[in-house]
């Protein structure tokens, strides 16, 4: 039996977000045989039912700290937990878990983590103190590893692509298929600011259906209806648009595998679509999306300004043209570094 058979898996689980669901699925599949994980989750019933694991309320600091005492190790599972863009208190919460676990002699693993942003001086000071306490780490991008080194981390940790790249691929069969939109609300696009992007979308492929695929149930669902209610969709664009619902990451991948193009704002929408073999292009509301698009070599338009004048042509060039498979295979292979971190639990 593994020495660390009861790990506490810490992350944004049970939030009805397909990206975090995919991270949890990959993490659970990568645990050494014999592990009986305890998972932090908001919707505990959903996580228990879907994955057959024990859970603890991730919104209760007291409950999570109590869980640290009942577990043999703590694993920060994907995403970017050590950051202060959510709030400084969020960063303090996760730093406190590291300190608590290490004070009890329990290993702390950072698995497939992003680091930052750390906008406050006190945030950088806090992370500089916490990183040396970590037992093992793998980063999901070179920028996070570089930030760790700049904060004095002697062992910068291994670097691989986002762990979700390790999901089993789908066979793309979407030539001539619909355009799938993994869009989300964002402060960069409010009201009329959507108009030039929607007009670009209207010119892209007038004969194809547009499938709006929400990745976060509470944030993304209803975006199409909201834009329609604001009168921002032309009659033609509205007529060929409809919203889908995917309850699991694999369902979303199958939708993407039947598409002629996926336009993704969501990081894991971009990754799962590319892993499904679909043609992709990105719209970046966050540097992590830009970084993933750069790794893929796919077009990426930033949302902090108007669309580039040639964006329609760039998207049209992507239609029915999947990414080179060697690129996808390289990114998938690079996730091995994350598996090696989990092996420390054995």
What pLDDT does 2 receive? 42
Put the strands of the sheet holding 158-159 in their side by side order: 54-57, 38-41, 7-13, 73-77, 108-113, 136-139, 158-159
What pLDDT does 346 receive? 76
Domains delineated in the chain? 7-159 (3.40.50.2000), 179-325 (3.40.50.2000)
What pLDDT does 154 receive? 65
Question: Over the stretch 209-258, which tens digit does the pLDDT of each residue have?
Answer: 999 999 999 999 999 999 999 999 999 999 999 999 999 999 999 999 99
- Nearest CA to 265 out of 283, 277, 247 is that of 283
What pLDDT does 157 receive? 82
Sites in the chain below the pLDDT cut of 50: 1-3
- What is the reported pTM? 0.95
Q: How far apart (Å, rounded) are the C-alpha atoms in residues 142 and 332?
A: 16
Question: Over the stretch 83-118, which tens digit does the pLDDT of each residue have?
Answer: 998 899 999 999 999 999 999 999 999 999 999 999
DSSP sequence for 278-340: --EEEEESSHHHHHHHHHHT--EEESSSPPPTTHHHHHHHHTT-PPPHHHHHHHHHTTHHHHH
**Of all helices (H) and strands (E), which one includes residue 23?**
helix 18-30
What pLDDT does 152 receive? 85
What pLDDT does 5 receive? 86
């Amino acid at each position: 039996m593994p020495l660390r058979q009861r790990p506490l898996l810490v992350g944004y689980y049970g939030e009805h977000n397909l990206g975090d669901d995919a991270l949890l699925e990959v993490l659970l599949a990568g645990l050494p045989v014999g592990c009986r994980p305890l998972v932090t989750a908001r919707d505990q019933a959903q996580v228990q039912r879907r994955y057959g694991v024990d859970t603890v309320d991730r919104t209760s600091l007291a409950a999570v700290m109590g869980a640290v005492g009942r577990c043999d190790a703590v694993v920060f599972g994907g995403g970017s937990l050590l950051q202060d863009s959510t709030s400084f208190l969020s960063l303090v919460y996760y730093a406190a878990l590291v300190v608590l676990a290490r004070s009890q002699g329990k290993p702390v693993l950072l698995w497939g983590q992003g680091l930052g942003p750390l906008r406050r001086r006190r945030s950088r000071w806090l992370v500089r103190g916490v990183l040396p306490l970590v037992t093992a780490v793998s980063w999901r991008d070179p920028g996070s590893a570089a930030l760790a080194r700049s904060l004095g981390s002697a062992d910068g940790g291994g670097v691989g692509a986002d762990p979700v790249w390790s999901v089993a691929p789908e066979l793309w069969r979407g030539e001539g298929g619909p355009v799938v939109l993994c869009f989300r609300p964002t402060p960069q696009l409010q009201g009329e600011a959507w108009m030039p992007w929607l007009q670009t979308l209207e010119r892209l492929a007038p004969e194809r259906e547009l499938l709006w695929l929400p990745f976060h149930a509470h944030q993304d669902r209803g975006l199409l209806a909201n834009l329609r209610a604001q009168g921002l969709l032309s009659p033609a664009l509205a007529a060929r648009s409809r919203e889908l619902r995917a309850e699991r990451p694999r369902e979303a991948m199958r939708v993407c595998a039947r598409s002629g193009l996926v336009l993704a704002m969501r990081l894991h929408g971009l990754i799962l679509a590319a892993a499904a073999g679909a043609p992709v292009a990105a719209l970046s509301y966050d540097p992590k999306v830009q970084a993933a698009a750069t790794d893929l070599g796919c077009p990426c338009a930033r949302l902090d300004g108007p669309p580039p004048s040639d964006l329609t042509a760039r998207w049209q060039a992507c239609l029915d043209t999947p990414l080179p498979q060697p690129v996808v295979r390289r990114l998938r292979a690079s996730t091995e570094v994350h598996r090696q971190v989990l092996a420390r639990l054995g």
